[in-house]
Structure formats: C-alpha cells, structure tokens
Amino acid sequence: MNSELMMNLALELAQNGRGYTSPNPMVGAVVVRDGKIVGKGWHKAYGQAHAEVNAIDDAGDLAKGADLYVTLEPCNHYGKTPPCTEKILASGIRRVFVAMDDPNPGVKGGGNAYLRSCGIEVISGICEAQAKKLNEVFIKYTSTKRPFVIVKCAATLDGRIATKTGDSKWVSNEESRKFVHHLRHAADAIMVGIGTIKVDNPMLTTRLEGTTGKDPKRIILDSRLSISEDATVLNLNSASETILVTGESVSADKLLQINDKGAKIIQLPLKDGRIDLNLLMSELGKLRITSLLIEGGGTVIASALKAKIVDKVMFCYAPKIMGGDDGVPICKGAGPELMSDSIRVKNIEVRRFGDDVMIEGYL
C-alpha cells in the first residue's frame, strides 16, 4: 500500500473542514485494512468529533488490525472531545501513519509517544510539507498566539487598485472575485481601512454559489471613529460581528452610537497617528482570531507590510493598464530608497483565473 497515496487522500478529506474548524486545525484520516480503504473521516467543525474518531467509526469492526493514516498527530488530552489516542487503542488499530507532529508546544509529540508506549507502531513525517501548508494558520497561531495574516489585492498590470476617483468595480474578473469569497469563508476575520468603507461601502461577507459560506468577523481600522452609522457593515444580518478599531481619544457619544449598532469596539493607543498593527495582532489573538485577511486599501496594505505582520500575499493582476500615475496604488506612502531594501516574496506559486494571474507567496 502506497503510504503517500493514502496520506494525500487524508489531506484531501481534511480540506472539507476549511472555514469550520478554527481555532482547531483541519485534519483528515483514512483507515486501511488488507490494502482497502474501510473508513474515512475529517474534523467537520470546532467542538465536534476529530478526524480519527470519524474515520474509525466509519470503519466499524473493520478497524481492528487496520492501519490509520492521519494528517496530524492524534491528541492525547481532553479538550472539547476525549483523547483520540484512547479511541485508536480501543478500536484495535495496529499501525498509525502521521503526516506531522502537533505544533502546540504543550502537547507536541505526546500523542505519538503515548501510542508507542502502548505497543502501537507509529510512522510519522508522511507528506509532512503538504500537511504543514494545509495548517499554516494553525501552526502560526498555536506557536505565537497571533493570527496568520494574508494580504489580498486585485490590481492592474501597472499596480493600481482603483482609479483617481476611487472606482474599483471591477479590477479583476468574476472568476477571481468568486475565489475571494472562498478566502473569506476560510478566514476568521477580514480587515480594511475606513477609507475603503467610505468609498466602497462594502458588506465584507461571504457569498458562495450553491452553499452557505461562513462570514468572517469584519475589522475596520478607524482611528478617529469617523464611520457613518449608515455604513453597510454596521447594518448587516450576519452571524459574525463587526469590530471597530479606534484610538483612545474619540467621542464618547460616538462610542455609544456604535455600541448601539451592535458593533464591538477596540480602543488602542495610536502610533504615528495610526493604529498600532502589532499591538492589534496581539489583541486579535486574545479573541481567538487565528487568521486575518487584509483586503485594503493601499494605506492599510502598506502599513501592514511596514509593521511586518504579513505572512502571505495574494496579488491578483488583471490584464488592464491604467496608463497614468494618478490612480490608487497597491501600497500608498513612502517606499525604500534602494531596490535591495524591497520586501522579498518567497515560495512563489502562480494561478490563473481566466485572464487574471494571481501571484501567491510568503514573506
């Protein structure tokens, strides 16, 4: 039996949980007996049964003497659910193949070690790189208690995200815009600046075809709390909250008005007249926001890059040329004097959405 083939199947199953498992990881599992798959499972939602449990239950009595392939080290502690190691032992599984160790410093290696101490053969590191990419958000949050941050933008070939009037509908094509809603579904929160709210008045919700997506929390950077009470983000029928991040010296009356709209307010000290994004990331981590999608505008993107809070960029370029220098750039403000001081993007992947080209990479 090809162990990589089985682990890749488990990784595919794990992705079914995208958008639903946070702050838990996405995990998939496959039970194999006599060369045949007899059980499949994945972690469907936070608080529900883990992948190993679902796969073993799916296999039933056929789990006895079988092999288990799981994308993350089985847990050996009580959380929302009992330890998966106990389920594995009770089922009669004879061998466990694991893609990656649990990155949580408090439990790393404990599940594998416990199974081995009970006589179960454990083979780890199968498709480890793929497993780590799948759960890059979980790894970052677990190790730092700060969200994994993605900057996404849509731009013309000459780097403009809007015209001089602020018009941005639409830079990218419909296929690209549909993909963005999958990104929103997967993210715990989405963040924009007050400028984007005033110009575009967006909903910042998830709209997926044929299924109901999960809305991310909406985070608005508004240092002076100048948002209009009529802004769409304050008047939505959504299960996810809107969070206004503002300075400490704002109108008490406006604070009350925003509270009355049901929005959450985070007040932080300003740094050079702007929200301190590093401090904000720590605050978001305390709210168990494990992933953050930054959608703009140019000032927010530039500030996030300068603050070095960005983990990943997803820049989508449409085959359009603005042909002038008065549109809105991807990043607003001063840049480096030397090309050698540019931010280097690594591990590049390129995707096509019709005629649009997306460059994805890590900082």
Task: Show which residues are catalytic.
Answer: 52
Q: Which residues contact 14 (CB under 8 A, 6 or more apart)?
A: 26, 27, 28, 42, 43, 51, 71, 134
Ramachandran sector of residue 210 (left: φ over 0; alpha: ψ -120 to 50; beta: rest): left
Q: How far apart are CA 258 and CA 244, in angstroms?
A: 9
In degrees and rounded to multiples of 5, residue 10 shows phi and psi of -65, -40
Sequential DSSP letters for 284-332:
HHHTT--EEEEEE-HHHHHHHHHTT---EEEEEE-S----SS-SEESS-
Phi, psi angles (nearest 5°) of residue 225 = 50, 55
Q: What is the spatial distance between Cα 168 and Cα 104, in angstroms, rounded to a whole number?
A: 42
Q: What is the largest CA-CA distance in the chain?
A: 70
328: amino acid identity, one letter: V
Instruction: State the DSSP code for 17.
Output: G
